[in-house]
Structure 1
Amino acid sequence: MSQQVKVIKLNKNLNAETSSEFQQDIAQILESGAKIVLVDCQNITFLDSSGLGSLVLAFKNLRDADIKMVLCSVKEEVRMIFELTSMNEIFEIFPSEDAFNQVLLAAN
């Protein structure tokens, strides 16, 4: 995978307890020179309002730094939350990391 792509694998549900750790990961990426951040959601089945807010904040901070944030491997439980809040219209979501890589390769 390209050095310009950084992958964050969420291994815990994104909620009030874990949001600050996620924000620390985003802060490190802001300094890394990445052009794209891929947030792999394969291991999360729950997202509360703090977690959703954390994703939105990360999206805005990265966008302000001219870094694109995309999601992949979103389980149905989390996808429903995105649909209910219309965040599925904001976030670009790929079915898997492989699908993302295929689109990235096709673009280059």
Structure 2
Amino acid sequence: MSLHLDTSTGKTIGVARIEGRLDATNSGSLLQKFPKWLQQTNHFVFDCSALSFIDSSGLGAIVGCLRKALEKNGDLRLACLDPRVSMVFELTKAKQLFSIYADSHEAIDSFSAGNQQ
């Protein structure tokens, strides 16, 4: 997982690329990194274009990151969900918790003033 900061909308937005599998073996790593990322910004896009699998632990980690961002008056938006990953969000009703976008640029642009969800 990697994070880069995007300032194209006038806000500092952390764009994290989540790759491979997010499951019980590595979801703790995301939960450990996220508080450090929160020191840089409270607005995030998780680019899931390279995420091929997620289990309940991975889903819990992403929901935990959302909760922490919201506690800091921020938000976390998802982009580029693979159909299999999207199905997990849909079946668990977690899809209702997130703003989900077709691509990262659309998700980043959604943070522009007047377009906050």
Query: What TM-score do you get using the length of structure 2 for normalisation?
Result: 0.82
**Other-structure match for 1:90:** 97
Over 3 Å off, 4+ runs? 101-108
| 1:67 Cα deviation from its structure 2 partner | 1.6
| 1:76 Cα deviation from its structure 2 partner | 0.3
SS at match of 2:70: helix
Query: What TM-score do you get using the length of structure 1 for normalisation?
Result: 0.88
1:43 counterpart (42, 50, 71) = 50
**Other-structure match for 1:57:** 64
- CA distance in 2 between counterparts of 1:53 and 1:96 reads 22
Of Structure 1 and Structure 2, the greater helix share is in 1
Identity %: 25
RMSD of aligned C-alpha atoms?
1.7
| 1:36 Cα deviation from its structure 2 partner | 1.0
Is residue 19 of structure 2 the alignment partner of residue 11 of structure 1?
yes
The answer for unaligned runs of 5 or more in structure 1 is none
Aligned residues: 107
SS at match of 2:19: coil
SS at match of 1:16: coil
- CA distance in 1 between counterparts of 2:106 and 2:85 reads 19
Of Structure 1 and Structure 2, the greater strand share is in 2
1:23 counterpart (16, 24, 31) = 31
